[in-house]
Structure 1
Amino acid sequence: MSPQPLTDADRLRYNQTSLSELQTGLRREAGEFSLTLALCNYHRLRNTVIEQFVSTGQAAAVRLPRKIPSLLGAVQEQLQGRVPPALMVLGLELMDNLPEILNGANLSRDELRKVLPCPWVIWGNETVHQAIARHAPDLRSFSPAAIAFTLPASDLSHALKQGTDQLFLNILEYEGDRDLASTTTIHLQGSPMLRSELAFATADLERQGWQPNADLKASLDLLQGREAHSRLEMDTARSHYEASLAHWQQAQSADHNQDPDQNQAPEPVPTWRDREAVLLLHLGLWWRSFAVLQRTTYYPSLRQARQYFTDCLKIFRQEDQLDRLARFIHVLAEVLQKQRDWQALERLAVEGIILHRQTADAIRLARDHGFLAEIALIKEDWLTAHNETVLALALLEVVELAAAEAPEDLDLASALTIARQFQRGWYRFLLGESQIRLTDPETAIPYLEAARWETDPEVDLILHRQVLEQLIHHYFQQGQYWNAFDVKQELRRVEYRYNLRAFIGAGTVQPHQRTAAPPLDERTNTTVAAEIRASGRLQDVEALVARLESDRHQVIVIHGGSGVGKSSILNAGLLPALRTLYPRGRTTVPILVQTYGNWPQGIAKELDTALAAWMVPTDTIPEPPVTPAAVQAKLAVGLSKIGFCAGV
């Protein structure tokens, strides 16, 4: 049987020495600024300790949101002018911009003691403490050695067992093919706190000489494989996945049908067949990723992915788990589509229609009809293709209306967002292609143009290129040569940005984009173009960045004759470089304005676009008509949110 968990009182007794040390320090420094770093890798233990202080009035707790302008500003906003006996700050491990916040706190460390003269306790896990040492060393020097709170081995091993079981169940019950839309990486769903705490628990137990049993080792292999896969460490991920799959398949050959703790567990526990299905799914995802990353093995990798996905869905059918089959059936459909195995895809799409009608899943049902529409186009059955696409778009419209009437349904909103990103442009494209064959081609062009703007090369580069290529073809067939040329130029720019074309001719050089493994901060998903580096202009870009980082240079003028590369340096060099610049902990938002006419309107528009990620619906920003004063007001709102803007 699995070890039983401790109570909160047991955990406090286990950490009594650390608890007493913290209480003594807070009493000794009462009424004065002091800094104590509290190290705790487990949120439940941390919350229990903090509750001891808050419930007795010894301290106030401030939980930081994911994104804040500064540490002091966020704390002041929550305290509303109060100065508590002691302050406990938590939430740093979940912050999106932790390095910038720590850099800023390091520079304003003297202001902390002036504004809030009370003992500060900053809570964080090992990752946070490493970040503090790296990004805020001067602030770190204010604190003596960190006070550590930990859990005994018996509690950690139970938490590992419980946490890995929950991971399997979360994947099967709460994820689905729409959560696995990326072709290259695994977007780790669920709580990042759960994932990090499982890793910390494993490390803590290893330091104590503990070794997991075979079942737990196989479960941890899944966790470690997913983490490696999300970082595109492909060989490591595959090794973990295959080791875990081999264990669960061997376990089934013994005289067991399910996890031995199944009957004793107070909560559902995944069976060994459940675990096997999860590993088959992840190996299929691994080969799908590998097909994209290693184009020379594209079709052999797709065959491997197809086999693993087929075996996974087979388990769902054998276990009569139709809800799971309905959620994951499209991972196989996508591979069949890429393989152009239209007969197999048609059979699977028909099965999907039956399943998704039973589960009332309109978004996946629309996609089933989209697959049938594409198959009909291949068969040159234009009317069927048209009707299936119209039905897919109609189903999507029904979901749009339902989402508008139920804004609190976050799952529906998330599913709809993915459908807009990955599927609606595809439906428009299919509708345009079928319409061209059925009626006057001119009536179909608007559908293809809609697909042009609704498909995103960042999301589906292959589909976006296909839309542009078909638009070029149809414009040319109709004698609209200028439109065909315009779209062809756009296609070349897209191919250049994603490293599919070496040179696009004379014009402004653009930054290159990355499609694989997008970073956590999407603003940094551009790189300084290779042409800037190769031409020797990188040192000019670095000099401009250094000047902008200095408060002494308020205005910088770049001048030169026509055609010498001023626009290229800005677009392909300076802008990508500025997006990774964090002067004194402040976020940099470069704003490019390329207009000589109504420049206030241009600046206002670019400000709205650039600052959208930091705004919330309650933010009040001046609306048109735009005046210089209104532009200044917009800029003031932006500065209050992020701290630093650079206009070019």
Structure 2
Amino acid sequence: MSEEKITSPNKEALSRLTRAVKWSPGKFSLILARCDYAGLRAQIIEQLHEVCPVQIQEITIPPWERSLHRAISGEITDNMPDAVMILGLESSADPDAILKGANHVRGKFAKDFPFPMILWVTDPVMTKLIRSVTDFYSWAGTSLRFVPSDAELSDALQQNADDMFNEILGKREIGLSEENRFLADLSDPQEFEIFLKDLEALSPPASRPSPHLQFLRGRNARNKGDTESAMKDYKACLSFWKEKNDPEREAVLLYLIGQCCGKDDPEGAKTCFQDCIQAAGECQELAAKCLCELCGVFKEQEDWEEMEKTAEEALKVNQSCDNRQAECLQCHLFLAEAVLHRDALEKAEISVQHVLNALYLWENEDDRPVLGQASDILERVSQKKDETLWHSGINCIEHIKKHGIVFRQA
């Protein structure tokens, strides 16, 4: 990685980190390196290995480990390293126990580890250090912080939002530049929260929040189960894209708002999904998602006729998009359930046979909720008096049991 990719404040911090390691040969010293983004930290570590003349051994603390001293001792049984850097503290199952344990035996570190030790921490871990283990924190001779620039944060915000829109729309292209790859993965809830706080700090308090920021805030709130806050942010974002006359993004937000409505407001959800299909235009991937969501709404309302018609349409759209097994199986399941409730046994036989065929070709063990839904429907099928349906249902049930799905008792 070229040094030009590291921003000026981080270059200075990297130089100080290099000097701190170089100036402590053969003796213990604690160096705190603070960074909230795993990808940015990886860039800094890569550059550190390139510019520092001292060989630094990397040690990652396993999530289950409770002792920092033991974790280091277990990795240096053969030869004493020139320096070590400790990673993974923020991912520990109990970081408090590790820090308090290290504070309790801090005298052993200087005795047993005659080399510089770089301890990578995040802001939340640093707060724990300062509040809970003051002695260990004050023992650090050097404390450094590595942060993304404002420009990198703004760029990453737009690119993350664009990628999320494209994912929902079914577009495969990814627009994220390599320079800002470190802010691309927001799957870690803690890192997501920090990213949002950093972004909010960029905006003047009186200014209108960026629609991209509102979109990410909505997603974060939804991930935490706060649908009320999610809907507020999504609706504000929807107003912006309506003003900009961007039907695709309008459609995405209608889809997300519909999901937030859920069982609490089925009529609101139905309206959102229907409006989404209209706004989606030629975006069949999103239309397919909305049709499946509509099936779920009709199921809650026990509107089996509408559920059947919508499931048939959803199946056609999913097949035209060449979607994966899970989507098509979901459509067959909705269709089978609808016709079973209407006691249309001839049509039910065809639907159940489609389910059976799909299950025999099943490859994805991750879609267990879909298999669970199949188990409930097929258990009902096996109780029907129609002999063909009965045999098909029993065969499907036996097949699904191989996937570890437990059936409810009739």
TM-score range, shorter chain: 0.7 to 0.9
Give yes or no for the alignment of 1:361 onto 2:324: yes
Q: Give the C-alpha shift of residue 113 in structure 1.
A: 4.0
1:550-595 Cα shifts (integer Å, max 9, x gaps): xxxxxxxxxxxxxxxxxxxxxxxxxxxxxxxxxxxxxxxxxxxxxx
Give yes or no for the alignment of 1:251 onto 2:201: no
Give yes or no for the alignment of 1:36 onto 2:10: no
Distance in structure 2 (CA, Å) of the matches to 1:211 and 1:77: 53
C-alpha contact 1:59 1:88 (8 A) present in aligned 2: no
Aligned equivalent of 1:374: 337
Unaligned runs of 5+ in 1: 1-6, 176-187, 253-271, 292-297, 404-411, 457-463, 472-648
Q: Give the C-alpha shift of residue 244 in structure 1.
A: 1.1
Aligned equivalent of 2:250: 276
The correspondence of residues 94-493 of structure 1 with structure 2, limited to 5 A, is 94-133=91-130, 136-144=133-141, 146-173=143-170, 190=187, 192=189, 195-196=192-193, 198-206=195-203, 217-252=210-245, 272-288=246-262, 291=263, 298=264, 301-316=265-280, 318=281, 320-327=282-289, 329-358=291-320, 359=322, 361-399=324-362, 403=363, 412-415=364-367, 417-420=368-371, 422-434=372-384, 436-438=385-387, 467-468=408-409, 471=410
Aligned partner of residue 82 in structure 2, secondary structure: coil
- Taking a change above 3 Å as real, the CA distance of residues 169 and 203 of structure 1, as seen in their structure-2 partners, is same
C-alpha contact 1:173 1:324 (8 A) present in aligned 2: yes
- Taking a change above 3 Å as real, the CA distance of residues 27 and 97 of structure 1, as seen in their structure-2 partners, is same
Q: Give the C-alpha shift of residue 356 in structure 1.
A: 3.2
Distance in structure 2 (CA, Å) of the matches to 1:228 and 1:327: 21
Distance in structure 2 (CA, Å) of the matches to 1:273 and 1:376: 35
Distance in structure 1 (CA, Å) of the matches to 2:278 and 2:60: 45
Aligned equivalent of 1:263: none
The TM-score with structure 1 as length reference comes to 0.53
Distance in structure 2 (CA, Å) of the matches to 1:168 and 1:8: 32
C-alpha contact 2:36 2:123 (8 A) present in aligned 1: yes
Aligned equivalent of 1:9: 4
Aligned partner of residue 156 in structure 2, secondary structure: helix
Q: Give the C-alpha shift of residue 18 in structure 1.
A: 2.5
Q: Using the aligned pairs only, state the percent identity.
A: 24
- Using CA pairs under 8 Å that are at least 6 residues apart, name the structure with larger relative contact order, 1 or 2: 2
Distance in structure 2 (CA, Å) of the matches to 1:364 and 1:76: 50
Aligned equivalent of 1:62: 58
- Taking a change above 3 Å as real, the CA distance of residues 286 and 377 of structure 1, as seen in their structure-2 partners, is same
Q: Give the C-alpha shift of residue 426 in structure 1.
A: 2.4
C-alpha contact 2:359 2:399 (8 A) present in aligned 1: no
Aligned equivalent of 2:181: none
Q: Give the C-alpha shift of residue 280 in structure 1.
A: 1.4
Task: State the one-letter code of the partner of 1:33.
Answer: F
Distance in structure 2 (CA, Å) of the matches to 1:174 and 1:96: 37
- Taking a change above 3 Å as real, the CA distance of residues 59 and 440 of structure 1, as seen in their structure-2 partners, is closer
The more displaced of 338-347 and 194-203 is 194-203
RMSD: 3.8
Distance in structure 2 (CA, Å) of the matches to 1:242 and 1:335: 21
C-alpha contact 2:340 2:348 (8 A) present in aligned 1: yes
Q: Give the C-alpha shift of residue 395 in structure 1.
A: 0.8
The TM-score with structure 2 as length reference comes to 0.79
Distance in structure 2 (CA, Å) of the matches to 1:21 and 1:173: 46
Aligned equivalent of 1:516: none
Q: Give the C-alpha shift of residue 99 in structure 1.
A: 4.4
Task: State the one-letter code of the partner of 2:378.
Answer: R
Aligned equivalent of 2:175: none
Q: Give the C-alpha shift of residue 432 in structure 1.
A: 1.8
Task: State the one-letter code of the partner of 1:419.
Answer: V
Aligned partner of residue 147 in structure 1, secondary structure: strand
Aligned partner of residue 117 in structure 1, secondary structure: coil
Q: Give the C-alpha shift of residue 448 in structure 1.
A: 8.1
- Taking a change above 3 Å as real, the CA distance of residues 233 and 380 of structure 1, as seen in their structure-2 partners, is closer
| Residue number among 6, 19, 43 corresponding to 1:24 in the alignment | 19
Unaligned runs of 5+ in 2: 173-184
Distance in structure 2 (CA, Å) of the matches to 1:66 and 1:311: 48
